[in-house]
Structure 1
Amino acid sequence: MRKLRVAMIIPDNRDERRQYDRPEPEFGPAPAALLQGLQELPEIELHVLATTRRPMAAPAQLGERVHYHLLPAGRFAGLSGLYLPAVRALRQRIQALQPDVVHGQGTERYCALGAVFSRRPNLVTVHGNMRAIARLHRALPFTYLWVGARLESLAVRRAGGVVCLTRHTLREVQGLARRTWLLPNAVDPEFFRVKREPSQKPWLVCPANIVALKNHLRLIEALAPVAEKYGLTLVFAGGGDARDPYYQQFKARVAQHPWCRHEGFWHRRQLLEGLARATLVVLPSLEDNCPMALLEAMAAGVPVAAARVGGIPDVIEAEVTGVLFDPRDPADIRRHLQEMLERPDWREQMAAAARQRAAQYHTPQAVAAGHVAIYRELLQIPS
């Protein structure tokens, strides 16, 4: 079997967060889990590429057969420069590497653009559906979301193919993409090893950054009438921008309700410990594709409740692996969460089914094998 040389473009989150002094690369949980699976496959030679606006430490390798290329692209490599310096730096390195295929992870920043302008066979994975988010927010011309949606359209049209995590994305790119594949995200194996010790009193976790899209205020509104009855604690685990009016409103609302706690962004160890303790995980998003928060909870065996929007119904089968509610209706949110709180055997039965589903479809090995099949199909190489 011919060995495939794959260049995968993944943002190093240290650059986005301006954490230039951190010593190790930081990738999103979905690409990181995929890398774990791919590095186990001897038929893959993997090169991970990212750009940075300021110098950062970077290892030459991330693991066996996984090489890392962190490319300086200058201060205007972000949205202000339409990512052009980043795309230029990526293309130069890709031309030197001559990979069989270039895979851009995400349309939110430079990754998809770097892939489609690489002059090599390429594909992109759509993680965030920028066009759907821009529609939801009725994004004004030349705002971040408006520009992001147009760059996403450009990348999807030019890509050799698009990996869709859910049927929601499949619908979004129909008529634009040359070809599509349906393949979900992978989950880090550590989440499958969580040993649950749920809190004696209801301890609900909402693991999402504090932005309007994630709908935290409506969740608080939904639970306020019954929080005292159940003696529950609602923990928000997510970062936010203190300048954002929504974040300010959220902080004020949390301060009014002693049963609400905002613990900021949870790093991996905190997340694993939080899932072990959680009664259930709640995600009331107004738009989402294949949220890792739900996949990680499912892998850990934690009951899940989430909004009936976007790709979430692909992730959760209603009343089988979790519950789905209308995120714009506080009464509907409250009704579903009350039922889960009052029927512990039922919610644990759904959690067990969800964990089994995650073990079948979301392991790094399964998702990596799916990617290799896609690469070979794109290049028309027999497996």
Structure 2
Amino acid sequence: MAAAPPLKILHCFRNPIGGIFRHVRDLVEEHSAAGHQVGILCDSTTGGAYEDALFETIRPRLALGLTRMPMRRAISPTDMIALFKSYRHIKSLQPDILHGHGAKGGAMARAIGSVLRVNRYRVARVYSPHGGSLHFARSSLAGQIVLRLERFQERFSDAIVFVCDYERRTYEAKIGRPRPHSQVIYNGINEAEFSPVALEPDAADFMFIGMMRDMKGPDVFIDALARTERRIGRPLTALLVGDGPDEDSYRTMIAESGLGLRLKMQPAMPTRKAFALAKTIVVPSRAEAMPYIVLEALAAGKPVIASRVGGIPEVLGEDSEALAVPGDADDLSRIMTAAATQPDWRARIMPKPASFKAVFSAPVMARDMIGLYRELLPAATKRAS
């Protein structure tokens, strides 16, 4: 039996920051190593030196190239310009798979893929929400518009891929049962990350690492740290690591809380470098899909405290004592106190490494994704003919 031919895969997304970018980088690494041709199309106005360096690490893997152009977050008349330029570029690449990530990337991939299909070109259109539109409430006018647009775009989709079962359930509750094929494929961590990270001698007690915006909960972390100090009766040390639009407000909050000498802020850095700087990772998000930081920390042997949001309970366990009520600094502080004062807390509460790796590894994620891509191509060929 002849081996299946390699695929040409193009990933479209807007924001090259955070979980979506990490997800795409892992797929690029795994799929290019397996002989597939992969490319990226994303925004050119977002990200900084750190993200530029990450792009350089995967550029040799991008047989279909790295293309960046301005893409605004909100719907804008300039979208038509980006869409037209993207269409011409994608048509020249002749991909087998157009995989859109997030609301903007998903809309672009499905629109362009559908135009190509009208012209009888074989291409499969795949969409991964990654939270995105699913953060909107059905009760708001903006939410009604966005969620109805998501439903409308299903007719231009060959498959919808969810990164966790929570994301699938949220989609069904807010938008409806997916009409195209849908599948849960968990985010995964690459093999090199499944090794412990040694602590620096002056490691802090706790760390928040992520985007500096209220949805991620740095303000909850700051409040919880102050409460934990009062509970324990001694000073604690902590770090906030990351960049984002609300940095200045957190600096002010730290100063007003009297934590300035014990809670430091540092810019975004590689996660494993950051892990050496603190004993316990805290993920106090108000909303998430499947945050990579939880997976990365567990793979590095770090204990994790997190909000009970998104797919995090699917990783830590639905009944895990490491899960806090979202947005509740007092509940988060209760768990931080236990982690800081109970010597056996980590061994009792954290997932077992072998069972964790069997589900949340990049090779498993990449294998399942390629399997889906190949299933879609015969259908795409049939409908395009």
Structure 2 residue aligned with 1:240: 244
Pick from 51, 69, 93 the counterpart of residue 89 of structure 2.
93
Count of equivalent residues: 354
1:157 shift after superposition: 5.1
Secondary structure in 2 matching 1:49: strand
Contact preservation (8 Å) 2:106, 2:129: no
- Corresponding letter in the other structure for 2:274: G
Q: Any residues of structure 2 matched to 1:48-127 within 5 Å, and which?
A: 48-50=40-42, 52=44, 62-63=59-60, 66-70=63-67, 72=69, 79-81=75-77, 83-107=79-103, 109-119=104-114, 120-127=123-130
Could you tell me which residue of structure 2 aligns to residue 8 of structure 1?
10
Q: CA deviation at 1:206?
A: 0.8
Report the CA distance shift for 1:193/1:201 in structure 2 as closer, same or farther (over 3 A): closer
What CA distance in whole angstroms lies between the structure 1 residues aligned with 2:102 and 2:180?
17
Shift of 1:213: 1.0
Residue 46 of structure 1 is matched in structure 2 by 38
- Distance across 2 between alignment mates of 1:71 and 1:202: 38
- Give the corresponding residue for 2:117: none
Task: Find the aligned partners of 2:45 and 2:338 in 1 and give their Cα distance.
Answer: 49
- Classify 1:195/1:202 alpha carbon distance in 2 versus 1 (closer, same or farther; 3 Å): closer
Q: 2:366 aligns with which of 343, 365, 368?
A: 368
- Quick check: 1:255 aligned with 2:248? no
3-state secondary structure, aligned to 2:64: strand
Contact 2:242 2:267 in 1 (8 A): yes
**1:357 and 1:32, CA in 2 relative to 1: closer, same or farther beyond 3 A?**
farther
Cα displacement string for residues 95-127 of structure 1 (whole angstroms, at most 9, x for unaligned residues):
2333222111222x3344223432332111121
Go from structure 1 to structure 2 and tell me whether the alpha carbon gap of 1:86 and 1:139 turns closer, same or farther (over 3 Å shift): farther
Q: Which amino acid in the other structure matches residue 31 of structure 2?
A: L
Q: Deviations over 1:144-164 (max 9, x none)?
A: x88766654544553211110
RMSD after superposition = 3.5
Q: Is the 8 A contact 2:281 2:305 kept in 1?
A: yes
For normalisation by structure 2, the TM-score amounts to 0.78
- Aligned twin of 2:170: 172
- Post-superposition offset of 1:222: 2.5
Q: What residue in structure 1 maps to residue 383 of structure 2?
A: none
* TM-superposed deviation, 1:292: 1.1
| AA matched with 2:295 | L
Could you tell me which of 365, 370, 377 is aligned with 1:379?
377
- Give distance in 1, aligned partners of 2:213 and 2:161: 26
Partner of 1:301: 301
Q: 1:356 to 1:202 in 2, by over 3 A?
A: farther
Assess, with a 3 A threshold, how the Cα gap between structure 1 residues 380 and 230 changes in structure 2: closer, same or farther: farther
In 1, the alpha carbon distance for the partners of 2:262 and 2:190 equals 29
CA distance in 2, matches of 1:153, 1:236: 38
Alpha-carbon shift at residue 227 of structure 1 (Å): 1.8
Match of 1:33 in 2: 26
Structure 2 CA distance, aligned partners of 1:160 and 1:258?
A: 52
Pairing 1:292–2:292 present = yes
Q: Deviations over 1:260-285 (max 9, x none)?
A: 534243221xx322212321111111
User: Does residue 326 of the first structure (1) align with residue 322 of the second (2)?
Assistant: no
Alignment correspondent of 2:133:
130
- Residue 84 of structure 1: how far off its partner (Å): 2.8
Instruction: Give the corresponding residue for 2:337.
Output: 338
